[in-house]
Amino acid sequence: MMYLRIITAAVLMGVLSPCLLVGQEKHAYRIFDRTGELSSYHEMLAESMWTDIVLFGELHNNPIAHWLQYELGRDLYALKGDQLVLGAEMFEADDQIILDEYFSGQILERHFKAEAKLWNNYDTDYRPLVEFARENGLRFVATNIPRRYAALVHRKGFEALKELSEQGKSAIAPLPVPYDAELPGYRAMLEMEGMPAHGTENFPKAQAIKDATMAHFIIRNLVGGGLFLHLNGAYHSNNDEGIVWYLHQYTEKPLSVMTISTVEQDSVKQLDEEHGGLADFIIVVPATMTKTY
C-alpha cells in the first residue's frame, strides 16, 4: 500500500509540476518607489495625505490605473473630506461651465455628455470618479487646454496665442508661456525620427502648452491646506518634468508635489531599470493586462 502511495505521488508530481510552473501567481499590479524598492498602495495613500498636489500619471487605456485612481480618490475623500479637489487632463478648460452646471444639478447628465468634449472611454474609465465627486459635493476642475488651441500652437507656435480673444485666453495658461526646450522630455520630442520638416520645433511646444495650462488651473484651484488629485497621461509628469516643472514656475510658495506613474512590463516581480526614477510611486502592470479600448 505504501509503495502504491509513493508511485501515485510521483505520478501526480510529474503531472502537476508543469502546471505549477506555468500557472504561477498572477499579480494584477505591483507598486514600487522611485528607487525600485517594492512599496504598497497603503504607503502611496499615506504619502498622498501630506501632499499639496498628487499627479496620477496613467496609461489611458489601462484599467488598473483607472481603478486605482478611483480608489485613491475615494480613500483621500475619507481622510480629507471637502479639502480634496479633483481635476483631469481629460476635460478641457472651456468645458468647466458644463461640468459646474452638471454638478450643481442645473443640467442633466445626458446634456453634459452631449455637450462636453468627453473622451471615448469616459463611461468606463472616468465617469466613476466624476460621479463620486458630484455625489459628494467635491470640486472637479477641467484643466486641459482646448485642443483647438494646442493644434494652433503646433501649427504656428506660442505667438499665435496672442491673437486669441480674452475669452479664449481665459482657457489657457497666462501669456507669455515660459518654455525650456532643453527639458529632456521636450528635447526627445524634437529628436524623434520621422518627424515632418514643417512644424517640428512647435511639436514639443504643443505639449508644453498642455502642461502649462494644466499646471495653471491646478494652482488656481488649489485650496490652502487642501489636496489636489489630478489625473493625466503619465508622460505629462514623468521624471518631474511637464506639469511638475510648470507648477513650480507658477508659484513662489513652497509646493509639495507627489507623482505616480503607470508602466507595463513583461514581469511585475521587480521594476525594470528603464522605469527607475519615473515618479515617486510607479505602478507596474503586466503587459498582458486587458485594455479598455
Which domains, and CATH codes, for the chain? 29-286 (3.40.50.11550)
Task: Decide: 36 and 265 in contact? Cβ < 8 Å.
Answer: no
**Strand partners of residue 229:** 54, 86
Q: What is the pLDDT of residues 154-210, one digit of tens each?
A: 999 999 999 999 999 999 999 999 999 999 999 999 887 555 554 588 999 999 999
Q: What is the pLDDT of residues 48-60, one digit of tens each?
A: 999 999 999 999 9
Q: What are the mean pLDDT values of the chain's consecutive 10-residue runs (293 residues total)?
A: 53 52 80 98 97 98 98 98 98 98 98 98 98 98 98 97 98 97 93 60 96 98 94 98 98 94 98 97 98 95
Classify 179 as helix, strand or coil.
coil
Give exposure, 109-122, as e/b (b: 16+ Cβ within 10 Å).
Answer: eeebeeebbbeebe
The pLDDT value recorded for residue 25 is 84
Output phi, psi for 180, to 5 deg: -125, 100
The pLDDT value recorded for residue 12 is 46
- Burial group, residue 164, by CB count within 10 angstroms (0-12, 13-18, 19+): middle
Task: Decide: 60 and 121 in contact? Cβ < 8 Å.
Answer: yes
Nearest CA-CA partner of 258 in 39, 82, 67: 39
CA distance 52 to 58: 19
The pLDDT value recorded for residue 85 is 98
The pLDDT value recorded for residue 253 is 87
The pLDDT value recorded for residue 17 is 55
What pTM does this model have?
0.91
Detail the DSSP E strand segments found in the chain. Answer: 30-33, 53-58, 84-92, 139-144, 227-233, 257-265, 281-286
